[in-house]
Amino acid sequence: MKNVFLLLFFFSTNAFGQKVVPVELTFNKTVHLFFPAQVSYYDIGSSDVLIESKSDIVKLASKISDFEETNLTVITVDNICYSFLLRYNKDISRLTYFIGDSLGKRINSSVREKMFSDSVQKEVSRSNTESTYISVSREIIKKAPAYWIGSTIKKTYLAINNIYIYQDKLYFVMSVGNTSSINYDINYIKFYIVDKKKLKKASRQEVEKTPIFSFNSLETISAGTGDHPIIFVFDKFTIDNDKKLSIELGEKKGGRNISIDINQDLIIKAVAVK
């Protein structure tokens, strides 16, 4: 029944004769779209999907598991506009799509020129950077945990399993789990550099470290979840001997808040990614 629906959707058109092409993505694979002409513009409806364009090829990859359905618009240099509906599917069999110009609709060239702006160029640059983060994260997430430094509160836990370094970026491999029967809605995961000595709050110095990218993150740790790996990417940093890195996981409208601390040695011993 599902296949029948997809076929009907694939060949359906709107009032302007524009076909909408369904494309399925999954977490650990990359999908390529091949167009009959060079891509000059694209726009995607969700930040949960990575998009990268080069010449007549568009590369798509899911940043998280089970993202919400979203759309993609692509325009080529010959002024053909293509529309896609991106859906998550855990098991996909198709990794390449060869897009014929019959699937698109010709638009006025002035429309394309108005849409193509500096923001598009910035998006391409940003996507290339994220592509590196995702490639490295996909590689290291397959590796077995080197250690388990964590804490458990009311059957919910937070742990750090390894730290990697690549091109002056630190990759923190974390894991979360929830063996209780109640879902855990994440309010925040924060990273602070704090004093090792317990000082009064008024004199305590805290420096928050904000990740520049996260991989395989989630909003809810479902009940019965085992180890769920998450990778946080930071610009390289170290900490002083009298400091520590505190990592906090906070529950939304709940009291299962977890905190763990690591010393500078763990960061210094970050494993180089080759």
Q: Is the pLDDT of residue 89 over 60?
A: yes
- How is domain 149-272 classified at the architecture level of CATH? Sandwich (2.60)
Per residue in 150-180, is it b (16+ CB within 10 Å) or e — as a string? beeeeebbbbbbbbbebeebbbbbbbbbbee
Question: Is residue 80 a contact partner of residue 105, using CB atoms and an 8 Å limit?
Answer: yes
Residue ranges of the domains in the chain?
Answer: 2-116, 149-272
- pLDDT over 90, % of the chain: 48
pLDDT band at residue 127 under the 50/70/90 scheme: low
Instruction: Pick the range with the lowest mean pLDDT from 3-17, 68-82, 125-139.
Output: 3-17
pLDDT of residue 5: 40
**2-116 and 149-272: same fold?**
yes
pLDDT of residue 14: 45
Q: Is the pLDDT of residue 189 over 80?
A: yes
CATH for 2-116 is: 2.60.40.1550
Question: Is residue 170 a contact partner of residue 163, using CB atoms and an 8 Å limit?
Answer: yes
Q: 36: which 2 tokens?
A: 């009959």
Mean pLDDT value across residues 240-252: 92
